[in-house]
Amino acid sequence: MPKDTSTLTLTGVSKTYPGAEIPVLRGVELRAGAGETVAVVGPSGAGKSTLLHLIGALDTPSAGSIRLGDIDVTALTGAALAVYRATRVGFVFQDHHLLPQLSARENVLLPTLAAPGGDPARADALLTRVGVAHRADAFPAQLSGGERQRVAIARALINGAGLLLCDEPTGNLDRDTGTGIIDLFLDLAAEGVTVIMVTHNLTHAARFTRCLELRDGAPVPLEVMA
């Protein structure tokens, strides 16, 4: 399904925020090919959200390299940086971040506004894919929490991104609804989408291909499954 099926590779990634003495991340290594699912776990403050921001090129590491296929993510500037953020990665947050005055379909189309050619048919196809086609005309306030997250996932995929960066996407959902979202991530991964997900839920983490545990910013690699 995604246009882009490049492998994500992090090598020796470290991050020290300006003015801070202690690094938030130290020597993080990660490799995720198309369709792989990686759970990022660790205590509050371990640097999990920071790691997603670096992969999404919202911030730059202090050392190390981040590559998506042949793209050197940390070297991107100007138009190339904007294209990467808009088309190569999709973010899903704990809060859905949908605009309340737009319908589900319009929210999904929002990221296409910067690049002319947004296709309502593609939005509807994605809403079908994530299981909420029947709610396309509803506004966020009329949707359940799980439905809102499904719309947010469709929005993250509308520009063809092959890499989903999810920060505690089930954090606000009850157990069964959260399990349904994880089921959806695994289905999308089977179609080639790479999913990197921060979670505090170890049951969810165990269903992913791999688990990256961060402790004091450093990785504790742990193979949950072969």
* Residue 146 contacts which entry, ligand ATP, Mg ion, none (Cβ below 5-8 A, type-dependent): none
Residues in binding contact with ligand ATP, number by CB under 6 A:
10
Closest CB to Mg ion belongs to which residue?
49
Question: Which partner in Mg ion, ligand ATP, none is near 50 (CB below 5 to 8 A by kind)?
Answer: ligand ATP
Least gap, CB of 221 to ligand ATP (angstroms) = 17
Under rule CB under 6 A, residue 49 binds ligand ATP: yes
Q: Which residue has the tokens 């080639």?
A: 192
Instruction: Copy the structure tokens of residue 153.
Output: 């996932």
Min separation Cβ 36 and ligand ATP, Å: 21
Q: In what order do the strands lie in the sheet with 218-222?
A: 89-92, 163-167, 194-198, 37-41, 210-215, 218-222
Q: For the chain, how long is the longest CA-to-CA vector?
A: 51
Q: Is 96 buried (19+), middle (13-18) or exposed (0-12) by CB count in 10 A?
A: buried
Pairing of strands 210-215, 218-222: antiparallel
Residue ranges that bind Mg ion, judged by CB under 5 A: 49
Among 13, 46, 173, 184, binds ligand ATP (CB under 6 A): 46
For residue 170, how far is the Cα from the chain centroid?
Answer: 12
Please report whether residue 50 would count as binding ligand ATP according to CB under 6 A.
Answer: yes
| Residue among 24, 28, 38, 68 that touches ligand ATP (CB under 6 A) | 24
Q: Which residues make up the interface to ligand ATP (CB under 6 A)?
A: 17, 24, 42, 44-50
